[in-house]
Amino acid sequence: MKIVHFADLHLDSPFAWCEATGDVARRRREALRETLIAVVRLTRESGADALFCGGDLYEHDRVTLDTGEFLRQQFASLDPVPVYIAPGNHDWHGPGSLYATEWSHNVHIFRDATLQPTHLAPGITLWGGAHCAPANTDNFLGGGFRVEGPGVHVALFHGAEQSWLAAQGEGKAPHAPFETAEIQAAGFHHAFLGHYHRPADGEHHTYPGNPDPLQFGEDGMRGPVVATVAADGTLERERHVVAVTQVHELALNVTGFTSRQQIRDALREEAEGLAGLARLTVSGDLEPSLDLQEDTIREQLLETFEAVRIRKSGLHLAYDLEEIGEEPTVRGQFVRDVLGAELPEDERRRVLRMGLRALDGRDDLEVL
């Protein structure tokens, strides 16, 4: 049996992570819809027998009626291919959710907080469960859960495999946490999962990852997985990339730059041939005489990209603090006072940067 599995699309996401607003954010939300259309197309063109969604299909608090109609139309277009959805913590099932509305007969939405079985194919049973609240969903495999009946058993749910949690980065909450060993202990041959945006192919579980970018710094081949389940429960997987949104990481090292034109030339070279969303990391030793204002950089990059985020990492003003601190001047006393103050290192650098530029007669004190 052939299955297309995806998760974590997050339709109607606000795109605050890339600082997109207005029409730009709207176009990015439209791109998420185009990504779902690509998933549906893949399901059709690959000859899949079913489409699985492991949750976080949309944002419960932001989803629109139009998005609901879009989803119903897309999934209905696959009929008679069945679509199975296991709601997650962002698209949790409840009386006011899209999942409580009417869907085409080929769409099966799991609505219980415990795993429930449904016939998938001859000799194959699918068990699925739903988050019925935005938080505090229990382990679907806990409490001694065990499948019943002969044949191959596969699971579909939104949950956090514990050993993979640290790899997801800060801020990823362990919703419906479980251990890998619990998959086999419960009698499952494989678990098709959602929640982690970083893809993972375990021996007995699959996280497809988010199919369209949801933050900067994402890595791994993420997107829908075409999985073929054999009669003995073994699995073959093939990953596909269907992302519509382009996200780029740019770098600007200002060490040695003495004019604004050098910055403009470096940014032009970094952005050449690119489009979409960009995050620029600025680093290096900044000459005190050099203008490096965020608004100016952003304005140039927005000539190429739809949205831009700028951050600094290891950026320092190229002042010789030791030499200045020996000066019998107001500037020297300022440096001595700041270096002697009990300040966090980041705060000390910021105060020195702003103070020295002010004493130099500069008005661009909030330089990156």
Could you tell me the pLDDT band of residue 363, with boundaries at 50, 70 and 90? low
266 φψ region: left (φ > 0), alpha (ψ -120 to 50), beta (else): alpha
Q: How many CB atoms lie within 10 A of CB 112?
A: 11
> Distance between CA atoms of 39 and 77, rounded to whole angstroms?
12
In 3-state terms, what secondary structure has residue 231?
coil
The answer, yes or no, to whether residue 171 has pLDDT greater than 60, is no
Q: What is the pLDDT of residue 147?
A: 96
Pick 362 or 345 by higher pLDDT: 345
The answer, yes or no, to whether residue 291 has pLDDT greater than 80, is no
The answer, yes or no, to whether residue 244 has pLDDT greater than 90, is yes
Could you tell me the pLDDT band of residue 319, with boundaries at 50, 70 and 90? confident
Pick 368 or 50 by higher pLDDT: 50
> Distance between CA atoms of 194 and 58, rounded to whole angstroms?
13
Could you tell me the pLDDT band of residue 79, with boundaries at 50, 70 and 90? very high
In 3-state terms, what secondary structure has residue 309?
strand
The answer, yes or no, to whether residue 233 has pLDDT greater than 80, is yes
Q: What is the pLDDT of residue 164?
A: 66
Q: What is the pLDDT of residue 336?
A: 94
| Radius of gyration from C-alpha coordinates of the chain | 26
Tens of pLDDT, residue by residue over 103-148, are: 999 999 999 999 999 999 999 999 999 999 999 999 999 999 999 8
Cα angle 226, 212, 132; round to 5: 80
| The CA-based dihedral angle spanning residues 213, 216, 222, 224, taken in that order and rounded to the nearest 10 degrees | -10
Cα angle 223, 96, 72; round to 5: 45
Q: What is the DSSP letter of 137?
A: P
The answer, yes or no, to whether residue 169 has pLDDT greater than 70, is no
Residue 261 CA, chain-centre distance (Å), reads 35
Structure tokens at 168: 């997801």
The answer, yes or no, to whether residue 367 has pLDDT greater than 60, is no
Share of the chain above pLDDT 70, in %: 95
Q: What is the DSSP letter of 58?
A: B
Task: Give me the long-range contacts of 315-320 (CB less than 8 A, separation at least 24).
Answer: 315/254, 315/282, 315/283, 315/284, 315/286, 315/368, 316/284, 316/285, 316/286, 316/349, 317/285, 317/286, 317/288, 317/352, 317/353, 317/356, 317/357, 318/285, 318/286, 318/287, 318/288, 319/288, 319/352, 319/356
Closest CA to 266 of 300, 295, 316: 300
Q: Which amino acid would we find at residue 142?
A: G
Rounded to the nearest integer, the mean pLDDT of the chain is 91
Could you tell me the pLDDT band of residue 22, with boundaries at 50, 70 and 90? confident
The answer, yes or no, to whether residue 53 has pLDDT greater than 90, is yes
The answer, yes or no, to whether residue 365 has pLDDT greater than 70, is no
Rounded to an integer, the average pLDDT of 317-323 is 83
Could you tell me the pLDDT band of residue 368, with boundaries at 50, 70 and 90? low
Could you tell me the pLDDT band of residue 309, with boundaries at 50, 70 and 90? very high
Q: What is the pLDDT of residue 168?
A: 56
Could you tell me the pLDDT band of residue 288, with boundaries at 50, 70 and 90? confident
Q: Which amino acid would we find at residue 3?
A: I
The answer, yes or no, to whether residue 165 has pLDDT greater than 70, is no
Pick 173 or 236 by higher pLDDT: 236
Q: What is the pLDDT of residue 316?
A: 78
Could you tell me the pLDDT band of residue 236, with boundaries at 50, 70 and 90? very high
Highest mean pLDDT among 189-193, 211-215, 355-359 belongs to 189-193
Closest CA to 294 of 359, 344, 364: 364
Q: Which of 13-22, 202-211, 227-236, 343-352 has the lowest mean pLDDT?
A: 13-22
Helix spans in the chain (H) = 22-45, 65-76, 181-185, 260-271, 294-301, 321-325, 330-340, 345-359
The answer, yes or no, to whether residue 364 has pLDDT greater than 70, is no
Q: Which CATH entry fits the domain spanning 2-239: 1.10.287.3510, 3.40.50.720, 3.60.21.10, 3.40.50.1580?
A: 3.60.21.10
